[in-house]
Amino acid sequence: MSGTFIGMPKFQTAAKEALGNSQQRRNLQHATHTIREKRARVVEELDDWEGLRQAGADIKDNVLSHLDTYLVQLEESLTRAGATVHWAGDAAEANEIVTSLVRATGADEVVKVKSMATQEIGLNEALEEAGIAAWETDLAELIVQLGHDRPSHILVPAIHRNRAEIREIFLREMGHVGTPPPAGLTSEPRELAEAARVHLREKFLRAKVAISGANFAIAETGTLVVVESEGNGRMCLTLPETLISVVGIEKVLPRLEDLEVFMQLLPRSSTGERMNPYTSTWTGITPGDGPQQVHVVLLDNGRTDALADTVGRQALRCIRCSACLNVCPVYERVGGHAYGSVYPGPIGAILNPQLRGTTSEVDQSLPYASSLCGACGDVCPVKIEIPDLLVHLRTRVVDEHRGGMPSGEEIAMKGAAWMFSDHRRWEKAQKGAELGGRMFRKKDTIGRLPGPLSAWSDARDAPVPPAESFRTWWKREKEGQ
């Protein structure tokens, strides 16, 4: 049904293709700049923003250092409130649990609240294989699902589409899976939203089972929290008889009061709003009101591996706001698909290699998918030092390759390091460059470089080395040598 990220090529290859899609680049530039500016305006309003960021980071760090305790506490609270807790070590286990829970209800369809955890484990595909239709009810997720597409943004998964493209997708696909859009649908946002509303209403009213994630899970009370904008979440969380929530184990917060910090950080960082339109909280089962079967699947899927890395673990502070995507100059130009994961952008570049490991081509290339410009770290509401983690993971990728057949890069790096480790060697190398500089003396720049250096000169002129290095000049002028 929807696209998959399995077997993605390395970032560079996918990026090259994406850069050629001029419509997508225009859509992304427009959308990221709009959200970026909105975020900047609402963050500016708060004079204690830095304090809030620090508080957010501190709360999350405390959770991560005592995760075992908080998880057990969460399980006890949930159980006390009438929910059933399941533990899933990986994606396959989580999918199996959810599929059998749905089967047990006899339903052959579910409505879904937008959830990164279920995207991460490929739950829709697993349900489809089991003959269960999973209907995405978030507008952007619906667009992605109807378009047989992949999400390209954490918060706005259809960010790579414009409204003309959305109209086409609705007209082509909606009628096959439910209420069709009205004839004469235009690309007016109001009309598109209304078409989606009518299409979805039928599914909300019919569904017996809903599947959600959670933005936060409160250990003390067993309360789950979903933060959303469209009200589709509220429908899914209240109407069906059975509610299954797949929650990453790092989503725990110790106390309800901690929400005070995160409910200020999250909406401002994600949609650039002071407050999001819908915040739903539920604590197990309330007799006679809402779902009477409540299941919570606590998902590891690589999170404990990330936790084991004392430097890398701060990536688990992430609250999935997308601020880092929206400011990233690489993401803005390449889009989300090239990252080969439901987590694209800077956070994806540090999260995926930690959750999935660094065995695949794409996961090895992700830490390098950044110019280390630092814009992501500056906007992160929980102060994840994304550039530092990118460098940390690059070191991991390089170190894992050591000992085998050295790559051209490794040989070049080792050679350069050997040269720089003694200034006399460096001076000799400079003499060679000076010779080259004298050869090219009549030119200002070099238009074409050989071999791997052509990656530079295909689009950029290269500087000509000078006939005399600074060192040579200094020795002559200042030391009379």
475 binds another protein, rule: CB under 8 A:
yes
Report the residue number, 359 or 421, with the smaller CB distance to another protein. Answer: 421
Dihedrals φ, ψ of 473, to 5°?
-60, -45
Q: Which of 37, 286, 462, 476 binds another protein (CB under 8 A)?
A: 462
411 binds another protein, rule: CB under 8 A:
no
Calpha distance 406→19 (Å, rounded): 31
448 binds another protein, rule: CB under 8 A:
no
What is the smallest separation between the CB atom of 8 and another protein, expressed in angstroms? 16
Report the residue number, 45 or 444, with the smaller CB distance to another protein. Answer: 444
Stretch that binds another protein, among 89-97, 124-132, 295-303, 374-382 (CB under 8 A): 374-382
What is the smallest separation between the CB atom of 12 and another protein, expressed in angstroms? 6
**Residue 223 vs residues 73, 79, 258: alpha-carbon distances, Å:** 12, 11, 12
478 binds another protein, rule: CB under 8 A:
yes
Task: Please answer whether residues 137 and 235 qualify as being in contact, where contact means their C-beta atoms are separated by less than 8 angstroms.
Answer: yes
Calpha distance 136→382 (Å, rounded): 29
330 binds another protein, rule: CB under 8 A:
yes
DSSP type of residue 183: T
Stretch that binds another protein, among 108-116, 176-184, 252-260, 439-447 (CB under 8 A): 439-447
Residue holding tokens 């309360």?
Answer: 223
Quickly count: other Cβ atoms within 10 Å of residue 344's Cβ.
Answer: 33
Binding mask 380-399 for another protein (x = CB under 8 A): --------x--x--xxxxxx
Report the residue number, 145 or 430, with the smaller CB distance to another protein. Answer: 430
22 binds another protein, rule: CB under 8 A:
no
As given in the structure block, the two tokens for residue 211 are: 């599947």
Stretch that binds another protein, among 112-120, 194-202, 283-291, 444-452 (CB under 8 A): 444-452
Q: Taking the CA of residue 85 as centre, how many other CA atoms within 13 Å lie in the half-sphere pointing to its CB?
A: 23
Dihedrals φ, ψ of 275, to 5°?
-150, 140
Residue type, 356: R
Calpha distance 152→339 (Å, rounded): 9
Check the CA dihedral 72-73-78-80 and report its sign.
positive
Calpha distance 174→180 (Å, rounded): 5
Stretch that binds another protein, among 51-59, 164-172, 206-214, 328-336 (CB under 8 A): 328-336
369 binds another protein, rule: CB under 8 A:
yes
Helices (H), 224-287: 232-238, 259-270
Stretch that binds another protein, among 13-21, 123-131, 152-160, 256-264 (CB under 8 A): 13-21
313 binds another protein, rule: CB under 8 A:
no
Calpha distance 360→243 (Å, rounded): 35
Q: Which of 3, 4, 16, 406 binds another protein (CB under 8 A)?
A: 16
447 binds another protein, rule: CB under 8 A:
yes
373 binds another protein, rule: CB under 8 A:
yes
- Rule CB under 8 A: which of 209-268 touch another protein? none
Calpha distance 67→324 (Å, rounded): 25
Helices (H), 207-328: 232-238, 259-270, 303-308, 323-327
Check the CA dihedral 308-309-310-316 and report its sign.
negative
Binding mask 84-113 for another protein (x = CB under 8 A): ------------------------------
Q: Which of 423, 428, 438, 476 binds another protein (CB under 8 A)?
A: 423
Calpha distance 195→187 (Å, rounded): 11
Calpha distance 329→373 (Å, rounded): 9
12 binds another protein, rule: CB under 8 A:
yes
User: What are the residues binding another protein (CB under 8 A)?
Assistant: 11-12, 15-16, 19, 329-330, 333-334, 367-375, 377-378, 388, 391, 394-399, 409-410, 413-414, 416-417, 420-423, 426, 429-430, 433, 444-445, 447, 452-453, 455-463, 465-466, 468-471, 473-475, 478
